[in-house]
Amino acid sequence: MPESGFHFDQPLWLWALLVIPLVWLWLRYSKTIRRRGKETLYADEQLLPWLLGEAGGQARPYRGILTVWSLTWLLMVMAMAGPRWDYERISAFRPAAELAVLLDISASMNIRDVRPSRLARARQEVQDLLRLNPGIRIGLVAFATVAHVISPVTEDMETLKRTLPSLSTDLVALPGSRLGNALDKAALLLHEDGNKMARHILLITDGDFDEPKLLEKVDELRGRNIHLHILGVGTDGGGLVPDRYLPPGTRTPVSRLNEEELKTLAQHGDGLYQLADYQQDDTRKLLDNILADAEQQQFKEMPTRVWNERFYLFLIPVIFLVLYLFGRSNRFSRRLS
């Protein structure tokens, strides 16, 4: 098939065509069962077709209606499958930048030293980022002891917004957080062409991790032309960690915002460190920094195919077939009355 040839956008709809043979088989099978039923108590078997209206030309109208219905169903399913052929090429220009967001969902993010909680504040920061995004492709990784890719880098901000409410500390099976593993996961989301694409990682966390060689990891990312920005969530006073995994008699640990370490990490990552708040200035400043880096790479031309959708060609005959079926059903109703 040529590259611009006929194909379906949603081919899974074609499975609905199996309904047609199933309906025909069911009707034929039900007739066989019915003829073996109690009708034979009231008439001889050879007279049943005349009694039930299935003899001679009397059965043809029903078979004709079923044929029209089958054709209507066929055309409607074909339309739903999205037939298309031929396309036009258009060029869209957008900032040559990608951003991977690392969201900390460890138990310490449940602390309420900021209202309503650290995690709720972090989710709000991500939501502001998605709403103000000028066209940067964004991916999302949630992490604690294990990093989970929630979404690869994408232009679909609405889908990312819908996933945010489901991100909670309940998804974490083990206590603690491993930032090094999460940084590796985020870097994998970004394209490797660092000379033509500005690549950035945004870490949203309270800094409650004690992990060796983090600076070496950040320096390694910087050597690959990946910038690290950090939004700190929490206060210096901190609060008690609501950790459900502590054994009885163990003192509940206290978690405080580790600004010094976060600032050092951001400095090594050639990025910004900011304290998260409900103002949008922190998000705007971050986006401006990424856009400034993207402008140095220039705006990237994104060639896009726009396919010519042909579903309407299948819907036009459906209109006339449906009108025919309605007319037949009305005549049948009047005949019964």
Nearest CA among 200, 192, 146, 134 for reference residue 172: 146
Alpha-carbon span 70 to 79, nearest angstrom: 14
Residues 315, 284 share a domain: no
Residues 38, 108 share a domain: no
Residues 106, 64 share a domain: no
Q: Is residue 187 part of a domain?
A: yes
Longest dimension (CA), the chain: 96
Q: What is the DSSP string of 69-108?
A: HHHHHHHHHHHHT-EEEEEEEEEEEEESEEEEEEEE-SGG
CB 177 within 8 A of CB 243: no
Residues 65, 137 share a domain: no
Q: Is residue 198 part of a domain?
A: yes
Please count the residues of the chain: 337
Nearest CA among 103, 312, 61, 311 for reference residue 204: 103
Domain that holds residue 146: 97-297
- pTM comes to 0.62
Q: State the pLDDT at residue 336.
A: 45
Number of domains in the chain: 2
Residues 291, 205 share a domain: yes
Residues 194, 149 share a domain: yes
Alpha-carbon span 49 to 54, nearest angstrom: 5
Q: Is residue 67 part of a domain?
A: yes
Residues 274, 217 share a domain: yes
CATH number, residue 198: 3.40.50.410
Residues 142, 11 share a domain: no
Q: State the pLDDT at residue 95.
A: 61
For the chain, list residues with pLDDT below 50: 1-2, 57-59, 194, 336-337
Residues 324, 282 share a domain: no
Residues 255, 234 share a domain: yes
Q: Is residue 141 part of a domain?
A: yes
Residues 269, 122 share a domain: yes
Q: Is residue 2 part of a domain?
A: no
Q: State the pLDDT at residue 303.
A: 63
Residue 111 per-residue DSSP state: -
Residues 200, 56 share a domain: no
Q: Is residue 269 part of a domain?
A: yes
Q: Is residue 31 part of a domain?
A: yes
pLDDT tens track for 126-160: 999 999 988 888 999 999 988 999 999 998 899 89
* Mean pLDDT estimate for the chain: 81
